[in-house]
Structure 1
């Protein structure tokens, strides 16, 4: 295992773990869930925003599907604004105590009507100000789902984060040219999550002439050389990465990772967001639940 320094047990206000409630009259077989949204960076350097609009939040639990909150007005969220450990609090509401298996978002988006894509609030925006509607198959009906188990104890509060990772989720749908949001979302129970704050020797990156470097986190021994191959239509490179982060001024953050052992891979991209080469890897990084870890890296430390 690499030598890491633990900074703190709780790394974000979003990491609300189970809390006791002394007022028995308010429990009544109920607890609370705080639902957050976060994201990982997108490869395309021309994209400035990826906006989703949410009508309703539901969860599948002891009594089947339960509405957590239905908003009076749709809530619009630019996913690209919540990266590197930042998270958007979508809702915090009382729910039945018990174990849940998935959360779904009912989106403010419509199906095709007369072969035209009708979209009310979910879209991609480019740096030139132009927009493309974003389509989610069944997003307005059965919802956009994230699977993952979490438990709400009676009288407790549990934080849940939905990680969209639009790098993998937003793809162009074949000959239609429509952009769709694939169901790649991760559900992370915050009390089980950890974070890596990485600090790269910026001089070593500058001297190597890299325009852009992205850090990818893989579960231990799951990376394959084929991850770097030219992707097929609708797919991306490094598709099996758990999460990723752009290295900015030598710093990167890999957040909302479940406890376990991970391998970090670093890839160089050009100014247009095109993959150039794999720089190297830093392997066998072990994370404990709720931990915030710091890594000091340089090119000489990579495999």
Structure 2
């Protein structure tokens, strides 16, 4: 059964679009609120993925413009902001107009003249050990997200950056370094939609599934190769728009653009290893600014 509702309070809090004061109207200014969110990572041994942000910039009518430059780097655990939760990184006045991308200048390890610099961004495991994250030129040219949004004169626009660390964090070849790949999505919040899905918990437990993940694909883009054993530095389900671990029968796919999607469900073992594709649910249509409630059963899956 499908039921369409307006977005919940948590999700709606990242979608505010309101009027500002008259001063902004007269000087051609508006405000941008920049949020950060994430999708789950495959490795169940990872406790946290920390990124450290020095500043935020956007490419707009006058070229690159600084949204905010922090006195101290802002550290964010991406895994704490999933299932429609988002971290408000900054809200600041900017020139009104249309912008095409946002970049984060990161406090992250780089090799400069054969010397390692900065250690602000890293992966932390359940045993307390840490591995530094590297982004080529992440502390200089920045970590970029492409996507269009418009700041109205005298108004506020919310923009969410979806890191999806499942895709972003990879181990790079012979070096053994963990690289933060530029896979980040940019969504103007007034255009975003959400799916809240629900299985009866016994429905999954009785089938013997240890862990099930829901993947969302743009309509008719999934192929069988998505489940193939990935090459080094790659992942399964590489073209999924977003994903969500099913917990207690519930899953949330948030900050999605309007359109039609197909949902695919995969089981994993107790170590986070992929087992099999257990089915799909096709032709889910989303409209901007709405939350779609889905009540599902295994026998409904294709």
Structure 1 and Structure 2 fold alike (TM over 0.5): yes
For 2:13 and 2:147, locate their aligned partners in 1 and report how far apart those are by CA, in whole Å. 17
Question: 2:193, 2:291 within 8 Å by CA — same for their partners in 1?
Answer: yes
Q: CA deviation at 1:119?
A: 3.4
Q: Which moved more, 1:105-114 or 1:275-284?
A: 105-114
Match of 2:2 in 1: 4
- Structure 1 residue 116: Cα displacement: 5.6
Corresponding residue for 1:37?
36
Deviation track 1:61-91 (CA, whole Å, cap 9, x = no partner) reads: 0000000000000000000000000000000
Alpha-carbon displacement from aligned partner over 1:117-171 (angstroms, at most 9, x marks no partner)? 4332100000000000000111000000000000001001000000000000000
Q: Distance in 1 between matches of 2:297 and 2:12?
A: 30
Q: How many residues align?
A: 300
Q: Distance in 1 between matches of 2:244 and 2:94?
A: 33
Structure 1 partner of 2:91: 92
Structure 1 residues 3-38: Cα deviation after superposition (integer angstroms, max 9, x where no partner): 5211215652433343233x4223310000000000
User: Distance in 1 between the 2:137 and 2:266 partners?
Assistant: 35
- SS of equivalent to 1:208: coil
Could you say which residue in structure 1 is the equivalent of 2:106?
107
Moved over 6 A (4+): none
Q: How does 1:145-224 map to 2 (within 5 A)?
A: 145-224=144-223
Cα separation, 2, equivalents of 1:207 and 1:269: 15
Partner residue, 2:76: 77
Contact 1:14 1:36 (8 Å CA) reproduced = no
The match for 2:259 is 260
Structure 2 segments unaligned to the other structure (5+ residues): none
The RMSD of aligned alpha carbons is 1.2
In structure 2, the partner of 1:248 is 247
Determine if contact 1:107/1:140 at 8 Å carries over to the other structure: yes
Contact 1:10 1:290 in 2 (8 A): no
Q: Distance in 2 between the 1:254 and 1:9 partners?
A: 12
Residues in 2 aligned to 1:257 and 1:64: alpha-carbon distance in whole angstroms? 27
Q: Residues 199 and 252 of structure 1 are in contact (CA less than 8 Å); yes or no, is this contact kept in structure 2? A: yes
Structure 2 residue matching 1:26: 3-state secondary structure = helix
Q: Which runs of 5+ in 1 are unaligned?
A: none
SS of 2:206's equivalent in the other structure is helix
Q: Describe the shift of the 1:113–1:64 C-alpha distance in structure 2 as closer, same or farther (beyond 3 A).
A: closer
Please give the TM-score of this superposition, normalised by the length of structure 2.
0.97
Secondary structure, counterpart of 2:235 in structure 1: coil
Instruction: Name 1:24's counterpart in structure 2.
Output: 22
